[in-house]
Chains A and B, each alone.
Chain A
Amino acid sequence: MSTIEIKSPLPGTFYRRSAPDKPEFKNEGDDVASSDTIGLIEVMKTFIEVPAGVAGKGIVFRIGDAEAVMAGQVIAEVEE
């Protein structure tokens, strides 16, 4: 079993939910499919969905909600 990193495609602000009153896209420990949205990145006032890009188990977020993120920075990790 190995750990796969999910990296941010863009710099910006990372959000784990689509709106403040909505549930998180993924809870800590959830399994994810490749096409699942794990969060949003706000870049220059535009919101862009971040797909997991890989299938995996037990997602662990490395970036908190509404935190700044750099392009290529690890957002989350899953177990293969």
Chain B
Amino acid sequence: MTIHSLLIANRGEIAVRINRAAKALGMRCIQVYSDADADSLAVRLADEAVNIGLPPAAKSYLDIGAIIEAARRTGADAVHPGYGFLAENANFADAVEGAGLVFVGPDGDTIRLLGDKVAAREVARRVGVPTVPGSAGRISSIEEAQGVIVDSGFPVMIKAAAGGGGRGIRIAHTEEEFERFFSQAAAEAQAAFGDGGLYVEAVIGKARHVEVQLLGDGKHFVHCFERECSLQRRRQKVWEEAGAVMLSAAVRNRLCESAVAIAREVSYRGAGTVEYLYDEATEAFYFIEVNTRIQVEHPATEMITGVDLVIEMLRIASGEPLGLRQADLKVNGHAIECRINAEDPAHNFMPFPGTVGALSVPEGEGIRFDTLLYESYQVPPFYDSLLGKLIVWGEDRSAALARLRTALAGLKIGGLPTTVPLHAALAENADVKAGRFNTLFLEEWLQGEEAVRQLKKEEVA
């Protein structure tokens, strides 16, 4: 079905991003917003905007009834969920389809299947994709986890079956901790996700985070190569790259093919990402989870493939067959994305909502800034701290890093502290330049002297 009018069920930079793709396809954009977002860039850019409630997300962006009602009232044909909020909520996808509208993403059953982290591991195993060693399925007692503990030893991760995105994870280093955390984790998972199911995984030390971008129309499936997202703080990605330069051609091929095999197994429709841990010492990769939505770091992939992933999502949702064939997709150069957050890196990343002062954005070849910012905009305190994403492209990784240093120097956001100084310091760091890092690197580096010197220095300057 042709989509004439698209309702954007999200906010912030991704709402702006979806707006741009939809406009390029000639669609009318309907933006829903909370009381806190009446002045947002996404609302300003929309053809029509509908207030769906109060600032707390539970009373607006997570209110399925209010969003469906807004879609009905404005005559929307389709709903794009963005990321976060309701993007991976199977009941929302069902409700959208139930209202006779198109959900831009996989159907509810696919979201449900892959959203259950235990079921998703089963899918991966079925198509021969290695998973992190762990329990065979959900476990309901400490006794059932003993096998995993005996095989892998401590530490082990206790994860919520309904979790994901770094949420619902505890690491136990001893049997005593395991016993204590297990019951806490079950209660927390029940409260947070309405599902107290748990499973156990070995901790892969010194691992890197790699992921493969997928597109599928239910019949044909392609990968758009991989990204590396090892620079994380509190399990949240901070800096992402496309591609993962430490992979050999053979491993890259197997990794990307394994993601396509998973997509094929579930007849995947839409854009998705398969996440893995990569052990550099053994060149082994292990499946973690599938994210059934567009990801924050998707522009890095767009910069090296030339594919507009959000436009592809909208075409697939319109019922068009996937126009891309694997043989047509080639990697051109290297891209790096830095998440620019309203947080103060000199003060333990304290979030800092405030009013945006003078704004100066770098421009030029190989530079892109996806943002929700404009001058004098009041950043609301109710949502996450992401202000924008600076993405740079270069012919190779060192050219991308050089361009990144220039671009960061040209990015000035007045009025509030941001994570720009953190990225500037990382772009100068010898280990980052050499690509020597893993998922533990950033937090360890932040404890060290160099970080303290670099990040406090900015404060004085």
Contacts and interface: CB of A to CB of B under 8 A. Distances in A.
Given A13-B56, A68-B55, A45 B353 contact: no
A44 B55 contact: no
Q: Is the interface of A mostly helix, strand, loop or mixed?
A: strand
A12 B352 CA distance: 10
A13 B56 CA distance: 8
B377 interface: no
B353 A43 contact: yes
B167 to A, nearest CB: 11
Contacts of A46: 350-351
Interface in A24-75: 42-46, 48, 66, 68
A43 B351 contact: yes
B385 interface: yes
Interface string B62-93: 00000000000000000000000000000000
Interface in B369-417: 381-385
B304 interface: no
Nearest to A20: B191
Given A10-B381, A12-B381, A44 B353 contact: yes
B342 interface: yes
A45 B56 contact: no
Interface string B45-67: 00000000001100000000000
A44 B351 contact: yes
A43 B349 CA distance: 12
A66 B383 CA distance: 15
Given A44-B342, A68-B55, A13 B351 contact: no
A71 B385 CA distance: 17
Nearest to A10: B381
Q: Which of B55, B343, B381 has the most CB of A within 10 A?
A: B381
Interface string B336-372: 0000001100000011010000000000000000000
A10 B344 CA distance: 14
Interface in B18-57: 55-56
A11 B353 contact: yes
Between A13, A46, A48, the greatest number of chain B beta carbons within 10 A of the residue's beta carbon is seen for A46
Nearest to A68: B55
A45 B384 contact: yes
A68 B353 CA distance: 14
A13 B382 CA distance: 7
Contact of B382 (A10, A12, A48): A12
B240 to A, nearest CB: 20
Contacts of B385: 44-45
A63 to B, nearest CB: 14
A68 B34 CA distance: 13
Nearest to B54: A68
Interface string A1-18: 000000000111100000
Interface string B238-260: 00000000000000000000000
Contacts of A10: 353, 381
B379 to A, nearest CB: 9
Nearest to B385: A44
A34 B350 CA distance: 22
A73 to B, nearest CB: 12
Contacts of B55: 13, 68
Contacts of A43: 351, 353, 381
Contacts of A42: 381
Interface of A: 10-13, 42-46, 48, 66, 68
23 contacts: A10-B381, A11-B353, A11-B381, A12-B353, A12-B381, A12-B382, A13-B55, A13-B381, A13-B382, A42-B381, A43-B353, A43-B381, A44-B342, A44-B351, A44-B382, A44-B383, A44-B384, A45-B351, A45-B384, A45-B385, A46-B350, A68-B55, A68-B382
Given A13-B381, A44-B384, A68-B382, 10 more contacts: A10-B381, A11-B381, A12-B382, A44-B382, A44-B383, A45-B351, A45-B383, A46-B351, A48-B350, A66-B56
**Which 6 A-B pairs have CB atoms at the shortest separation, nearest pair first?**
A44-B351, A44-B385, A12-B381, A11-B381, A43-B381, A43-B351
